[in-house]
Amino acid sequence: MRIHLFIACYNDTLFPRTGMAVVNLLERLGHEVVFPTSQTCCGQMHYNTGYHAEALPIVRKLLHEFLDAETIVVPSASCVAMMRDHYELMAHNANDLHMMGDVKSFLPRVFEFSELITDKLGLTDVGAYFPHRVTYHPSCHSLRLLNVGDRPVRLLQGVEGLQYTPMEGSDQCCGFGGTFAVKNAEVSSAMLADKIGCVKKSNAEFVAALDNSCLMQIDGGLHRELGSRDRIRPVHLAEILNSTRKNPLTAESLAWEGATA
């Protein structure tokens, strides 16, 4: 299958490892990955902060870039939620029938990463190997807006050697919330403190999610509290699924230097 990748601007800049994992995994599964290099952002930051006029051309650009793509994977649940929840509304508000047509054709072709693997590719076991205790943080947008349900947990449970340790209060927001994290930084970090308590209680070595933005928040809080000492490592689900006996993902390889692989 020919699969187009929309990486998301923050993954591109801050979490290239996730994109590399998606590419390597899909290629290992026998698919061809296409990355339109002019892509940038889905418009979520602008839209959710209230800059609706500014978001519009960003969205139009993205729609144009993926006109010919048959299948699109996005390793960021909140970007997919932005697309599904707001693109039609934006086209409607802009009174742009052409854009509305593009959106209607675009949306059925878009898959969040775990949706792609389970629904489109029909897999729960991708031949991954990751002999660690892993807990899962259902990001709000994957949980409530995309309703991914137990897809990510089924994928984790399909990984050889992986011990899934459920998280208490898993449905609680980590406090990230985009610009909320800086506009209401203090409340955001109070919410984070609660989440970190739950993460620690799970007794996991790794905390996985479908959104690196939430993981950045959790990582930022954990690092502030514990420094770079031995601690729970946040990791995108794609990176765990890309880990094999031959090329295992280790705590050491999660350091940034690993990004230049």
Partner 1 sequence: MTVRVGHTAEKPAFPILAHELLQDDQTRRNVRHATNVIRNKRALRVEEMPDWQDLRTAAHAIKTHTLLHLPHYLEEFERNCIRAGGQVHWARDADEANTIAIRLIRKAAARLAVEHPEVIKVKTMTSDEIGMNRALEREGITPWETDLADMIVQMGKDEPSHIVVPALHKNRHQVRELFLQNMGLTELGTEAEDLTGAARHYLRKKFLEVGIGISGANFAIAETGSVCVVESEGNGRMCVTMPKTLITLIGIEKVIPKFDDLEVFLQLLPRSATGERMNPYNSIWTGVTPGDGPEQFHVILLDNGRTRMMANVRERETLNCIRCGACLNQCPVYRETGGHAYGSIYSGPIGAILSPQLNGMKYSRSLPYASSLCGACYEVCPVKINIPETLIHLRGKIVEQDQNTLAGKLSQESMGMKMAAHLFEHPKQYEAAQRLARTGQGLFEKDGQLVNLPGMAAGWTQYRDLRALPKQSFREWWKRNRTNRGDGSNWSGNE
Rounded to a whole number of angstroms, the minimum distance from the CB of residue 172 to partner 1 is 6
Q: Note whether 245 and 219 are within 8 A (CB).
A: no
Measured from the CB atom, the residue of 165 and 184 that comes closer to partner 1 is 184
Measured from the CB atom, the residue of 124 and 251 that comes closer to partner 1 is 251
Closest C-alpha among 83, 81, 86 to residue 66? 83
Rounded to a whole number of angstroms, the minimum distance from the CB of residue 131 to partner 1 is 25
Helices (H), the chain: 9-14, 16-28, 44-49, 52-65, 77-93, 97-106, 113-115, 140, 151-157, 180-183, 185-201, 212-226, 237-241
Question: How far, rounded to the nearest angstrom, does the alpha carbon of residue 197 sit from its chain's CA centroid?
Answer: 22
Measured from the CB atom, the residue of 146 and 156 that comes closer to partner 1 is 146
Sequence-distant (≥ 6) Cβ neighbours of residue 201 within 8 angstroms:
167, 168
Rounded to a whole number of angstroms, the minimum distance from the CB of residue 135 to partner 1 is 19
Measured from the CB atom, the residue of 47 and 136 that comes closer to partner 1 is 47
Closest C-alpha among 148, 153, 156, 170 to residue 78? 148
Rounded to a whole number of angstroms, the minimum distance from the CB of residue 7 to partner 1 is 5
- Residue 116 corresponds to which amino acid? L
Rounded to a whole number of angstroms, the minimum distance from the CB of residue 207 to partner 1 is 15
Using only C-alpha atoms, the chain has a radius of gyration, in whole angstroms, of: 18
Measured from the CB atom, the residue of 43 and 152 that comes closer to partner 1 is 43
Measured from the CB atom, the residue of 178 and 248 that comes closer to partner 1 is 178
Q: Note whether 83 and 141 are within 8 A (CB).
A: no
Question: Residue 37 is encoded by which pair of tokens?
Answer: 């290099």
Rounded to a whole number of angstroms, the minimum distance from the CB of residue 45 to partner 1 is 7
Closest C-alpha among 126, 207, 204, 192 to residue 159? 126
Measured from the CB atom, the residue of 33 and 123 that comes closer to partner 1 is 33
DSSP 8-state class, residue 19? H
Rounded to a whole number of angstroms, the minimum distance from the CB of residue 204 to partner 1 is 20
